Amino acid sequence: MEALISGLVVLVLILFFLGSGVWVFIGLLLVSTTGLVLILDFPPHRIGAILGKILFRSASSWELAAIPLFIWMGEMILRTDISNRLFRGLTPLVARIPGGLIHTNVAGSTLFAAVSGSSAATTATVGKITSVELKRRGYDQGLSIGSLAGAGSLGLLIPPSIVMIIYGVLAEVSISRLFAAGVLPGVLVAFLYSAYIAVRCSLKPSLAPKESDGETVPMSAALTDLCPILGLIVVVLGAIYSGLATPSEAAAVGVVGTLVLAGAMRQLSLSMLKDSLMGAVRSSAMVCSILVAAAFLSTAMGYMHVPQDVATAIAAMDIGPYGLIVILAVFYVVLGLFLDGISIVVMSLPITLAPVVAMGFDPIWFGVFLVLMVELGQMTPPVGFNLFVLQGLTGIPVNRIAVAAAPFFVLMIVGVALITIFPDIALWLPNALFG
């Protein structure tokens, strides 16, 4: 009974503080501190000592160095014309597939995700070009915007992923293996999206007008346009998967590569550097402060035995592994209605990881599952970030964008089901690369 009371107290505190409108990291600190005082009667000096150790440990974590570097890399790419080149390069490759240039939303988001690590940045960068261009060419706006809302979320799954780095640090698993685990599920979801677009446009050709040869660029020019982003992907992910660099070192290599590209394209300037650095500092400070607060919450829950007690209670329910996954899927979809992806991961992981591992699931696989569930939240109002990004780009109301994204929401659920039934979709590549 005490375990149940402790869990309920923590849940009420989370709902109260995060629902009060305070910054997420402050809310998590208040939840941890209040829980330790109310449940365990910890004195202030002991709570301060625990928080001090966590701050020192987090500040000296080498893995966290990758976060500001990948964010800065994405900020610089956002301020160059790599996204324009990406659209031009993909155009002749997809123009003759049913659905035509709508596939650039999926392919462009998939490629850009491999150098960004952020769902919002992927949606904004690709959408900035395709939303206007596809509308000008007469493509169905609902299908175009919906595919962009769905494909933009791949920025969280396809490596390098900021959310995967956060999961790896909190769950204490290999970030390199997590990155590898995200590749095939990301490609699978992208394939499902493109297949849906092709089938729907085959059934209703008016959704996607045929492209004339004069509207597309030659194949040789297209490949040249794709070279910058493909080069960054090869440099960053190649360094990680070859074992030559850790994710943090690969992030530094990616930053240097982006600087070289920007200089070669004559888009490197002091104003661009200043703007990108300031954007990276703001985002990194937000992410890292939430991580510290999440580590404190995880430690506090450990003192209160909440994860162990929840795992024991779930085991006693005898719902089985797949029953647990279904419950967690519903739980995460509900959380996605109200919280952003990082908050969902840091708030829930101290409670959900122990039962999942106790049921025999691989923590690397669960990282992919969790990221996919977070991606679903990017497409659901009222807090779906991708919806708000697209509203800002197009001026279309959020509810209409959410309706357009609904088929892609369902397709991602299909992707979740497939990796649950066939876990090797996520685990084969990291096992093949790292043993």
Residue 145 pLDDT greater than 60, yes or no: yes
Rounded to an integer, what distance in angstroms lies between the CA atom of residue 178 and that of residue 357?
16
Could you give the percent of the chain with pLDDT greater than 70?
Answer: 90
4 CB contacts (<8 Å, ≥6 apart)? 309, 313
pLDDT-derived band at 308 (thresholds 50, 70, 90) equals low
Which pLDDT value is given to residue 382? 62
Which pLDDT value is given to residue 310? 66
Could you give the percent of the chain with pLDDT greater than 90?
Answer: 21
Min mean pLDDT across 115-124, 250-259, 269-278 is at 115-124
Rounded to an integer, what distance in angstroms lies between the CA atom of residue 119 and that of residue 117?
7
Q: How far is CA 220 from CA 223, 264, 277, 379, in A?
A: 5, 20, 34, 36
- Amino acid letter, residue 14: I
Which pLDDT value is given to residue 119? 76
Mean pLDDT of 381-388: 71
The answer for 99, left when phi > 0, alpha when psi is -120 to 50, beta otherwise, is: left
Which pLDDT value is given to residue 199? 94
Asked whether 128 and 173 are in contact (CB, 8 A), the reply is no
Which pLDDT value is given to residue 432? 92
Asked whether 316 and 99 are in contact (CB, 8 A), the reply is no
Q: Output the pTM of the full model.
A: 0.81
Which pLDDT value is given to residue 426? 95
Mean pLDDT of 405-414: 93
pLDDT-derived band at 297 (thresholds 50, 70, 90) equals confident
Cis peptide before 160 (omega within 30 of 0): yes
Min mean pLDDT across 91-100, 206-215, 288-297, 372-381 is at 206-215
Tens digit of each residue's pLDDT (9 = 90 or more) over 199-214: 999 999 888 887 655 4
The pLDDT mean for the chain works out to: 83
Mean pLDDT of 182-192: 94
Residue 412 pLDDT greater than 90, yes or no: yes
pLDDT-derived band at 32 (thresholds 50, 70, 90) equals confident
Rounded to an integer, what distance in angstroms lies between the CA atom of residue 240 and that of residue 253?
11
Which pLDDT value is given to residue 388? 76
Which pLDDT value is given to residue 182? 93
165 CB contacts (<8 Å, ≥6 apart)? 63, 64, 66, 67, 70, 117, 175, 247
Residue 387 pLDDT greater than 60, yes or no: yes
